């Protein structure tokens, strides 16, 4: 089981960190903050640069924490939060499958994040190495997921106010 968690953490965490690096640095064919900010503003997130930085840091930081198996549910909760916002604002209207820019990819990332949050990072993790694994109880995992969902709802709420303020 621990080897499976290591593989899952490494794949999902590293890919999420790379996804964030596209937004933050423009790596891997991304647009960097300069290109991501206007896109987020077009979705109603103002100021776009601040939201782009927050999303990018959540993805890079959350992905890195998951990859390393460090700080238990914190990384998965960050990943879940940004994936909920992406699913609702960018992908929802396109249906399920990624082929049509649907919610498939953020749904997979979010489900993996929730699963890793509730199972813990496993024996092959920095949490285990530093003796932190016993700190992360199921209750704390559920609490972290709830905070991730609340963070997403807060972002979406700010977005809707920003959108209506601009059109009013």
DSSP 57-122: HHHHHHHHHHHHT-STTHHHHHHHHHHHHHIIIIIGGG-S-GGGT-SHHHHHHHHHHHHHHHH---
What average pLDDT does range 5-30 have in this prediction?
97
Question: What integer pLDDT is reported at residue 162 of this predicted model?
Answer: 44
Q: Can you give the C-alpha Rg of the chain in angstroms?
A: 16
Q: Which of 93, 32, 100 is nearest to 60 (CA)?
A: 32
pLDDT band (50, 70, 90) for residue 18? very high
Q: Which residue has the tokens 């977005």?
A: 159
Encode pLDDT of 87-132 as tens digits: 999 999 999 999 999 999 999 999 999 999 999 999 999 999 999 9
Q: Is the pLDDT of residue 168 over 50?
A: no
pLDDT at position 164 is 44
The pLDDT assigned to 145 comes to 96
Structure tokens belonging to residue 58: 């959540």
pLDDT band at 160 (very low <50, low <70, confident <90, very high): low
- Give the CA count within 13 Å in the CB-facing half-sphere of 152: 20
User: Residue 129's pLDDT is what?
Assistant: 96
Q: What mean pLDDT, rounded, does the chain reach?
A: 93
Whole-model pTM? 0.91
Map tokens 């998951």 to a residue.
Answer: 66
Distance CA 152, CA 4 (A): 29
Domain ranges of the chain: 2-167
Answer yes or no: are the C-beta atoms of 123 and 136 closer than 8 Å: no
């Amino acid at each position: 089981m621990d080897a499976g968690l290591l593989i899952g953490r490494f794949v999902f965490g590293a890919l999420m960190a790379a996804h964030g690096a596209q937004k933050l640095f423009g790596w891997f064919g991304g647009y960097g903050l300069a290109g991501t900010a206007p896109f987020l503003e077009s979705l109603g997130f103002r100021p776009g640069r601040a939201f782009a930085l927050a999303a990018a840091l959540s993805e890079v930081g959350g992905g890195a924490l998951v990859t390393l198996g460090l700080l238990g549910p914190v990384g998965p909760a960050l990943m879940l939060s940004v994936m909920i916002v992406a699913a609702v604002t960018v992908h929802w209207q396109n249906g399920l499958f990624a082929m049509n820019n649907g919610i498939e990819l953020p749904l997979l990332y979010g489900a993996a994040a929730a699963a890793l949050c509730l199972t813990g990072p496993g024996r092959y993790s920095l949490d285990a190495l530093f003796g932190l694994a016993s700190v992360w109880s199921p209750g704390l995992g559920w609490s972290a997921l709830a905070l991730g969902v609340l963070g997403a709802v807060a972002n979406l709420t700010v977005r809707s106010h920003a959108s209506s303020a601009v059109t009013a």
